[in-house]
Chain A
Amino acid sequence: MGIERKTSGLIFRAVLGCSLIYFLLIVFALVYYNLHLISDDLRHSITIQAYLEKSVQNADVQKIESEMWRIPGVSEVRFINKEEALSVLKEAFGEKVFEGLKSNPLPASFEIKLDRNHLGWENIHRAAEYIKRISGVKEVDYGGDLLKKIDKIVRVGTLVGVVLLALISLAVVAVVINASQLLYYKDSFKLGIMEMLGATDFYLSGPLIIKGALIGGVSSIIAIILSIGSFMGLGKSISDVEFLPPQILILLVVWGVIWGAFGGYSGFRSGKRSGFHIESKHD
């Protein structure tokens, strides 16, 4: 009947609104997730190069290495002697470039890697500072600036993500509250009578909570399908972009259901505060 049709139209509009909002969230999450993957990759490839003084004798090398192992987070220390350093360069630029050299001008060095838990900029920076202070070490080199930038981007991304998640949850709740208020008004005569007959708020709000949860859940699923669709549609042009892992998608649906249910209940409460519309004036 008329009222039924209007109610389904209302739910349809709410689902549409929430789907679009969730779609935006997924697009952002995708960007953030890939940024994270890239930064992780970069972090793993980062090494600290410690160049040694010319005066360092072979006997001191061991001592320097054992000092390096004492730095927290160090997972790999590799010694590169002068010859090895030169051969690496030769390989890169060709033998000819180095033909005129009488002696090897390159210093010996250490290549140090940190473990998984120490790949943040501060840790690498701190480790580099330690290494600098070891006697026999002349110079330390690491991708510090680059790392600092990546860390900053990830941190800003996280902040934006948290804010966006909060805003989007709010927006979804607002849409669902609005829809459930309207559903409430449509039903307020009936709800008012049931209240008069002794129905609890729990009983009265149940259908609205369920509708809200459905709106939230269905919208997030639609948004996921939509984003997978567009992701596959874009195909090769974004072939090195990774899609969100299933756990995140499931979390999104759960998130949608929870906030949808909350919106349904809030709509009930605010509808109720403004009163049931069963009083009619007869004077």
Chain B
Amino acid sequence: MIKLDKIKFSYRKGKPLFDYLTFEVPKGEFTIISGSSRSGKTTLLNLMQFKILPDDGVVSVAGFSSDNINRKKLTSFRRKTGFIFQDFRLIDEMTVFDNVALALKVRENYNSQQKKAVYKVLADIGIDYLMHSVPAELSGGEKQKVAIARALVGKPLLLMADEPTGSLDIQAGREIVELLKRINIGGTTIVLASHNAELFADNRFIIYNISDGGLKRVVRNGH
């Protein structure tokens, strides 16, 4: 689903963050990229979202490649991929329903069938009772569920999450991880960056640790 082939990347000033990194995310799996702060987790996800391009090497994600990505392809890539973040990125002036529906509205042919898809995803995630609320009325965990609903309403094959539990307490964090696990079981490939590896103590996850520009598979004792 995702392949990074001999990636070299550095920000304008500074030594390379990644020097010939090769890494793969298999289809259908739930891959965790863990690592301490500033180790490059967000940078790695940004590379996988074509937000930044590698200085050398090739990033390929869901049939799109950093070699020939352009504005048009980027738009179609974004319609096939869901993104969630630590800060939720919901629009304050819109209701929960409208926030989720926005993901379909920007595709320009919003109709009653798509409206049904919004109801369905809200019910699936268990937040349909919140649909008329605005973000300010929600808890952190609820906000993240809305963001997940928005990411999923377009039925992506791939979901990318950058610190989705970073702003949540442990209880809410666990709930989000459980929800994501359920989504993964439903068939969606997930890549998730987190510095909080304890939340993923389960052999369902493929865990990598990132440090000094390299990724190492973490093999837990007892598994």
Mark A residues whose CB is within 8 Å of B: 189-190, 193-201, 203, 278, 280, 282-283
Contact = CB atoms under 8 A, between A and B. Distances in A.
Interface stretch (B19-27, B100-108, B113-121, B181-189): B100-108
Contacts of B79: 197-198
A278 B46 CA distance: 14
A135 to B, nearest CB: 77
Contacts of A198: 75-76, 78-79, 103, 106-107, 154
B106 A194 contact: yes
B38 A193 contact: no
Given A193-B89, A193-B102, A200 B166 contact: no
A128 to B, nearest CB: 64
Contact of A282 (B76, B83, B166): B166
Q: Is the interface of B mostly helix, strand, loop or mixed?
A: loop
Contact of A197 (B76, B86, B103): B103
A195 B102 CA distance: 11
A201 B71 contact: yes
A196 B99 CA distance: 13
A193 B107 CA distance: 13
A198 B106 CA distance: 7
9 closest cross-chain pairs (CB), A and B: A198-B79, A199-B106, A198-B78, A197-B103, A197-B106, A194-B106, A280-B87, A200-B75, A283-B37
B29 interface: no
Contacts of B103: 197-198
Interface in B119-159: 150, 154
Given A203-B108, A283-B38, 15 more contacts: A193-B89, A194-B102, A194-B106, A195-B78, A196-B83, A197-B79, A197-B106, A197-B154, A198-B76, A198-B78, A200-B75, A200-B108, A201-B71, A282-B166, A282-B167
Nearest to A200: B75
B189 to A, nearest CB: 18
Contacts of B170: none
Nearest to A280: B87
29 contacts: A189-B91, A190-B91, A193-B89, A193-B91, A193-B102, A194-B102, A195-B78, A196-B78, A196-B83, A196-B89, A197-B78, A197-B102, A197-B103, A197-B154, A198-B75, A198-B76, A198-B78, A198-B103, A198-B106, A198-B107, A200-B75, A201-B71, A203-B108, A278-B89, A280-B87, A282-B87, A282-B166, A282-B167, A283-B37
Contacts of B150: 197
